[in-house]
Structures are given as structure tokens and as C-alpha cells.
Amino acid sequence: MAPNPDQKRFRLPHAGLALVGAGLWAVLAFLVLRMPPDGREHGNLGQFIGRLHPLLVHGPVALLALVPLMELAGLRPRWEYLRSAAAWILAVAVIAAFAAAFDGWLLAWSGGYRGRDVTRPHVGGVWLAAACAAAAWARSGPARGAGVRGAYPVLLAFAVGLMIWTGHGGARFRTGTGS
């Protein structure tokens, strides 16, 4: 099914989303720096919500893995519509990455964890949320107009690499194989 050339392409409200993303990242970075995991358990509700982290983390992983595949497939004229859909998937991946990062912080802080084995995936998740947001911004129309046209593939590749590194650290932590 060929796309209709008269249809408008999906565009995110870029400036507002960029500010919201920067604000969320600032709050997340503040929590990580000012309230790191100290090895003590903090509250039952926080532990309950934090224990959902292993379930929540798979959403942004799947979505972020799908975006480059859709972008590459969309290079073919026959499947060009996939590139517009990739913008939606990336936007949802950004939201899911921030949700998983906040929940990961809550798990680490309230669950009685501490040490390097929890810090590595914890900090990696914070940077992953930022990398996803930066890739989404670089894909936007205003960013392309500002001269950062080639930044999107680089930032997307960086986000995928960071996702692999962070996921590896989280899996090692969960299985207890250490660093």
C-alpha cells in the first residue's frame, strides 16, 4: 500500500516534548545523585512498584530494537510509510524508557540494594532514557532545520548500544553473576 503524497507526515510537538524530556531527565538525575541506593529498605509501596521494573524494562527494549529496523525497511519506496510509524514507536519508547528508569531507581532505592552491580544498570538506564529522548529530538523537523540532520542515526545507534550495555549489566545483577 503506497502512502498518499497529500497526507501530512506525523510530527511531534518538538519544543514542548524536548522541555518535558529535559525536565524528566533532570529529576531522574537528581534522584540518582541525591538519593542513591543505600542498602536499606524504604517502604512497602515503593518496593511493590519497584518490583515491576523487570516487567517494565522490556517495553522500551523491544520498541527501541524495532525503530532501526523500521527506519531501514522504510528506505525502500514500497515501505516508506514505516519511517513515519518509526517516529511513533520512538516516541513511545522514550516514554517507556523514562518510566522504566524511574521504576528502576525506585527498585534500587527502596529494595535494599547497593554497590556497583546495581549502580551500573541504574546509571545506564538514566543515560538510556536521555539517549532515546535525544534521538527522538534529532529525528524531529526543527532539529533537522538546525543543522543536526546526521545526528539521528548516530544517536539512535548510541541508544541501541547503550540499551545492550545496560541490559547486560541488569541481567548480570539479576542473575547474581557479579561484575
CA distance 55 to 165: 18
- Sole residue written with cell 547486560: 168
Give the CA distances from residue 66 to residues 62, 69, 131, 156, in Å, rounded to whole numbers and listed in that order: 6, 5, 16, 11
Using only C-alpha atoms, what is the Rg of the chain? 18
- Please check whether residue 37 lies inside any domain of the structure: no
> Which three-class secondary structure state does DSSP give residue 111?
strand
Contact present, 30 and 101 (Cβ < 8 Å): no
- Please check whether residue 101 lies inside any domain of the structure: yes
Domain interval for residue 91: 46-175
- Please check whether residue 58 lies inside any domain of the structure: yes
- Please check whether residue 57 lies inside any domain of the structure: yes
1-5, 101-105, 106-110 — most confident range: 101-105
Number of compact structural domains in the chain:
1
48-62, 78-92, 165-179 — most confident range: 78-92
Tell me the residue type at 6. Answer: D
Q: Is the pLDDT of residue 9 over 60?
A: no
- Please check whether residue 149 lies inside any domain of the structure: yes
The rounded percent of the chain whose pLDDT value lies above 70 is 74
Contact present, 94 and 136 (Cβ < 8 Å): yes
> Which three-class secondary structure state does DSSP give residue 41?
strand
- Please check whether residue 11 lies inside any domain of the structure: no
pLDDT category of residue 179 using cuts at 50, 70 and 90: very low
If you average pLDDT over residues 125-133, what whole number do you get?
A: 89
The three cell numbers of residue 28 are 531522574
Helices (H), 9-150: 14-34, 44-50, 53-56, 58-73, 81-110, 116-139, 141-145
